[in-house]
Amino acid sequence: MTLKIRLAVRDWDYVTPLLLGDVSSDLLALKVERVDTLVSDVAGSDVYDAAEVSFSRYAQLRHDGDDSVVGIPNFIMRGFRHRCIITTKDSTLHQLSDLKDKKIGVTGWRDSGNVWTRAALRRAGVGIEDVRWYAGRLTAAHPIVDRLDGFGRAGRIEACPGEKPMVDLLREGFLDAIFTPFMPDGFFDPASDLRPLLDHVVSAEIDYVNAVGYMPGMHVISVKAPIVAAHPWVVGELSRMVDASRSLWLAKRRKYADTSPFMLDELRRSAAGLPETWAASGMAANRKMMKDFADELYQQQILSRLLTVEELFPHGFD
């Protein structure tokens, strides 16, 4: 008899084979549901058995001794953060080191992506104390919520004044740059007044992966702990299915590249610039990245103690 699992994930293109049933298992009957917002409490959900969760917030659970969910070292969301720093087109800022002594907006202080972006800044010689930080909503279409999450410090890490959208504050000159993985409407228009901070984003990201040896992981898959306790094999099998979906989708992208005029160029560039195992799951393939992230959470004072990789993923696999 197969185990039924309801998995909530964002609308990543490479989960399409899972949604279509092109990837299956004799052990798992997987029902994938797409969500706009990550499930905040997987353990308490009466809808989902497993879900995509923030690496940072999952680490917080492990730090606090909360073992209600089991994280799988399969990073369903990865990405470089150099491309997630935007400024105005007429800005004189063009490299990470230029952000020293500047005002930067973030959409959430302890978001995994922002942890990694601050890590990249530190490699360029710009520490947390070298910047004035403002947390807030990106545009007026986004909700007003607490984005400091308890990490505010007067004069250093504050909410955006008047909860004004960060894009407005950037255009007015109050902010010098914004960290955001989601670009505001109109950003990709050639006439946009906004641009990436870096002039050569891809080169910077290739230099980064060559220096650190990995692409940063943002989100992991988590499963309710009682399910793993009753069916320990679910950790590896669920990860296998996600990996199979990713592999199948990549093959289809290479075959049907006409969906985007420059897709073939992007695929060739990715293959040339990234290690073949850049998206591999498991403990061994991700150990350095996970260790570095735990260190960043500690160094950035998001967690009060340094977690080991085994503490983060006690049910990990290779």
- pLDDT tens readout for residues 249-258: 999 999 988 8
Residue 136 pLDDT = 97
Residue 318 pLDDT = 82
Residue 246 pLDDT = 96
Amino acid identity, position 206: I
Alpha-carbon distance of 67 to 58, in angstroms, equals 10
- Which pair of tokens denotes residue 287? 């150990």
Helical ranges in the chain per DSSP H: 16-20, 55-63, 112-123, 166-172, 201-212, 225-230, 234-255, 263-273, 283-299, 309-312
Alpha-carbon torsion, ordered 47, 50, 53, 57, to 10 deg = 90
Q: Do the bridges between strand 217-224 and strand 69-78 make them parallel or antiparallel, or are there none, so unpaired?
A: antiparallel
CA-to-CA dists, residue 301 to 109, 151, 295, angstroms:
11, 9, 10
Residue 59 pLDDT = 98
**Residue ranges of the chain whose pLDDT lies below 50:** none
Over residues 194-222, the pLDDT tens digits come to: 999 999 999 999 999 999 999 999 999 99
